[in-house]
């Protein structure tokens, strides 16, 4: 079963950025989410797709999509992932709105989070919130995407938008986990259920 | 309830190291474990203690112990944690065997993993292994420490040593998770049980 995660990053850079301080634009958080989505101890989760929507300077928005393959072109550390993101952002410079470029398992597009979600077909949208339905008794639909925005939830406007799209609100417990930890915990639940 | 994690790092540096490539000595992995142990979305886990035993060059061994406090002196990103580790290793240069220095919530000692474990009193040792007892039905003792070495398990010699100390072997599922992900999943289980 495919696993698909979506991260909304309000400040994430939309062109190559400084690799010496990843906390700027919270690119460290983006990198940790990618690490959590794909890496296990001695391998890669090849059934996983990860999308990040970057909305920071200088030219928002950018969507980067990665599909799990044996060699991801980076190691699980933040800097190695950030270097790869920088290369991908470089490919996607000067993209026009709603255009995209694909290179192997990678896609970069100038596409908004909202537009992307509106065009998802036949996939249930799940978003994580500590006050949602308990993940351990949640019946996963056959096809779904998970939006990870940290376990405190998403901006109210976004939550309302997701509810209009029929999204399910799912909880991992009472703690406000960070986005990358949400991915790890969710993977574990899915591993236990679907192997 | 206190949560105490122990990481054994066979190659981790025992003196200040190069912050530009944390994959050397797998200091990236050490940093990710510290991040997973202490950080939640908007706060610190103040009930957590983390020990790492570093056994790489130039002067093994070193034990670094961190106790969760409101301000840890670093952010959740790998580089910020590595910078702090560098400062701590600097404090601990020229330590004699079995000596230690404490500074606030931090301790650095020249002490071995084996010696430390032998002297644990009244605490159950738990180590993670995909073939252990299922964590979701495991009855946690009142006081325990968890050894995280990646979910593939530990070197056979170490497992035998732990068994002689009466350790319990606990599983998070069938996947070989990386050490930092093991910490996140275990925290989640403990959060759900003990809040």
The DSSP element (H or E) to which A171 belongs, if any, is strand A168-171
A119: helix, strand or coil: coil
Q: How near does any CA of chain A get to the CA of B7, in Å?
A: 15
Residue B151 has pLDDT above 60, yes or no: no
Bridging pattern class, strands A100-103 and A168-171 = unpaired
Partner residues linked to A7 by β-bridges: A52, A148
Interface test with B, best of A26, A180, A182, A189 (most B CBs within 10 A): A180
Tokens in use for A45? 């989760």
For chain B, the residues whose C-beta falls within 8 A of a C-beta of chain A are 21-23, 28-29, 32, 35-36, 39-43, 75-80, 150-152, 172-178, 181, 184-185, 187-188, 191-192, 195
pLDDT tens digits, one per residue of A24-51: 999 999 999 999 999 999 899 999 999 9
Mean pLDDT of chain B: 94
> For residue A149, what pLDDT is reported?
76
Residue A151 has pLDDT above 60, yes or no: no
> For residue B153, what pLDDT is reported?
61
Residue A8 has pLDDT above 60, yes or no: yes
Residue B40 has pLDDT above 70, yes or no: yes
How would residue B149 be classed by pLDDT, with cut points 50, 70 and 90?
A: confident
pLDDT tens digits, one per residue of A10-19: 899 999 999 9
> For residue A141, what pLDDT is reported?
96
- Of all residues in chain A, the percent with pLDDT exceeding 70 is 98
Between residues B42 and B144, which one has the greater pLDDT? B144
A40–B176 CB contact, under 8 Å: yes
> For residue B150, what pLDDT is reported?
60
pLDDT tens digits, one per residue of A68-121: 999 999 999 999 999 999 999 999 999 999 999 999 999 999 999 999 999 998
A188–B185 CB contact, under 8 Å: yes
- The answer to whether the beta carbons of residues B33 and B8 sit under 8 Å apart is no
How would residue B121 be classed by pLDDT, with cut points 50, 70 and 90?
A: confident
Interface test with B, best of A25, A175, A189, A193 (most B CBs within 10 A): A175
> For residue B155, what pLDDT is reported?
78
Residues of A in contact with B187 (CB under 8 A): 181
Residue A1 has pLDDT above 90, yes or no: no
Q: How far is CA B7 from each of CA A139, B12, B62, B117, B132, rounded to the nearest angstrom?
A: 36, 11, 12, 12, 18
Count of A–B CB contacts within 8 Å?
107
> For residue A159, what pLDDT is reported?
87
Q: How near does any CA of chain A get to the CA of B78, in Å?
A: 7
> Span A158-171, mean pLDDT?
94
Residues of B in contact with A79 (CB under 8 A): 21-22, 28, 78-79
B97-101: long-range contacts, CB 8 A cutoff, minimum separation 24? B100/B63
Per-residue burial over A133-142, b if 16 or more Cβ lie within 10 Å, else e, is eebeebebee
CA distance B7 to B33: 8
ipTM of this complex: 0.96
The DSSP element (H or E) to which B116 belongs, if any, is helix B113-118
Show the DSSP H helices in chain A as ranges.
27-38, 78-91, 113-118, 156-164, 179-194
pTM, rounded to two decimals: 0.96
């Amino acid at each position: 079963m495919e696993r698909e995660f979506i991260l909304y990053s309000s400040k994430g850079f939309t062109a190559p950025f400084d690799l010496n301080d990843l906390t700027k634009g919270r690119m460290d958080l983006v990198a940790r989410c990618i690490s959590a989505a794909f890496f296990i101890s001695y391998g890669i989760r090849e059934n996983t797709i990860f999308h990040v929507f970057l909305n920071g300077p200088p030219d928002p928005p950018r969507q980067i999509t990665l599909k799990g393959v044996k060699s991801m072109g980076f190691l699980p550390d933040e800097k190695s992932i950030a270097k790869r993101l920088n290369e991908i952002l470089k490919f996607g410079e000067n993209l026009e709105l709603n255009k995209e470029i694909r290179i192997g398992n990678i896609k970069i597009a100038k596409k908004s989070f909202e537009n992307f979600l509106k065009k998802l077909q036949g996939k249930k949208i799940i978003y994580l919130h500590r006050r949602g339905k308990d993940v351990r008794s949640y019946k996963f639909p056959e096809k779904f995407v998970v939006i990870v925005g940290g376990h405190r939830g998403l901006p109210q406007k976004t939550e309302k938008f997701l509810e209009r799209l029929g999204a399910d609100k799912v909880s991992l417990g009472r703690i406000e986990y960070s986005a990358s930890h949400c991915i790890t915990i969710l993977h574990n639940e899915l591993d236990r259920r679907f192997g």
